[in-house]
């Protein structure tokens, strides 16, 4: 297989992978062009597990951080814990962090504080961020712009083409999940048109968001080939070139060896 690509956002800690986690990762790395994988934490225990997985496999890297939906459920010393984990040599980013106003009962103020502390930590440690935003584009852009230019990625991008442009102005990258391949992906495809090839990344957010024709199944990084086919189509380039460009971006942004 000559095409290889990078999954910049995955959750292989998830129980969906309990039966075959390492077997699966080793197989898709060997046989399906999965060059590197970043396992992303969403609270302290899942960040810890991401680091353990990165220690075990050379092509796996970790991101550590607290997801906005977990921000009420973390120990008092959470920031020290993120800082401690981030010191590991295979931690390539702080994430996933951000804002999520999707479900009733979210705590805007608390989410903002937890997001800001982690943006500041990332700046201090000179690490990129993996940002999660759902139904909170305006507030996220306001907060991010307080920090000037930001190295990082707006993951699982679901905003408009206009929002994409604002994210790009902040110096950030954008990545799309399997959503790109869905029948109702018009908005995502419009946004994709605006993202220059040197700011685009690939990701799965697995075990969720499997692309067509696997929609509804457990997702894994090998399925990124379906996203690359879509990117190639929209950009009018070959799948090989789409894979090459997005991989180079990931290596540069996250400093992957
Ligand atoms: Zn995620």
pLDDT tens profile 25-73: 999 999 999 999 999 999 999 999 999 999 999 999 999 999 999 999 9
Q: What is the pTM of this model?
A: 0.97
With H, G, I as helix, E, B as strand and everything else as coil, classify residue 60: strand
Q: In the structure encoding, which two tokens stand for residue 122, read together?
A: 């990332």
CATH number 3.20.20.140 is the correct assignment for the domain at 5-254: yes
180 backbone dihedrals φ, ψ, rounded to 5°: -55, -30
Give tens-digit pLDDT for 150-207: 999 999 998 999 999 999 999 999 999 999 999 999 999 999 999 999 999 999 999 9
131 pLDDT higher than 90: yes
| CB atoms closer than 10 angstroms to residue 241 | 15
Going from the Cα of 67 to the center of ligand 1, the distance in angstroms, rounded, reads 8
Q: Do β-strands 129-134 and 5-10 pair in parallel, antiparallel, or remain unpaired?
A: unpaired
Going from the Cα of 130 to the center of ligand 1, the distance in angstroms, rounded, reads 9
114 pLDDT higher than 70: yes
What's the chain's average pLDDT? 97
Going from the Cα of 48 to the center of ligand 1, the distance in angstroms, rounded, reads 15
Going from the Cα of 177 to the center of ligand 1, the distance in angstroms, rounded, reads 10
1 pLDDT higher than 90: no
pLDDT band at 2 (very low <50, low <70, confident <90, very high): confident
């Amino acid at each position: 297989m000559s095409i290889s690509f990078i999954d910049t956002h995955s959750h292989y800690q998830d129980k969906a992978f309990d039966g075959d986690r390492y077997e699966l990762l080793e197989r898709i790395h060997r046989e399906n062009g999965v060059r590197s994988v970043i396992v992303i934490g969403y609270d302290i225990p899942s960040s810890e597990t991401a680091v353990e997985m990165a220690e075990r496999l050379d092509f796996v890297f970790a991101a550590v951080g607290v997801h906005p939906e977990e921000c009420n459920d973390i120990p008092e010393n959470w920031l020290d814990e993120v800082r401690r984990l981030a010191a590991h040599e295979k931690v390539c980013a702080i994430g996933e962090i951000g804002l999520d106003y999707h479900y009733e009962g979210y705590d805007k103020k608390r989410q903002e504080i937890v997001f800001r502390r982690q943006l500041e930590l990332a700046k201090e440690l000179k690490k990129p961020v993996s940002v999660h935003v759902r139904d909170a584009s305006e507030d996220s852009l306001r907060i991010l712009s307080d920090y000037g230019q930001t190295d990082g990625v707006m993951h699982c991008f679901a905003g408009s083409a206009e929002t994409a442009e604002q994210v790009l102005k902040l110096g950030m990258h954008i990545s799309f999940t399997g959503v790109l391949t869905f029948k109702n992906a018009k908005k995502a495809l419009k946004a994709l048109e605006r993202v220059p090839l040197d700011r685009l990344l690939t990701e799965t957010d697995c075990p969720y968001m499997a692309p067509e024709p696997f929609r509804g199944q457990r997702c894994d990084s090998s399925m990124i080939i379906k996203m690359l086919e879509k990117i190639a189509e929209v950009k009018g380039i070959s799948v090989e070139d789409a894979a090459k460009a997005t991989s180079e971006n990931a290596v540069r942004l996250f400093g992957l060896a």
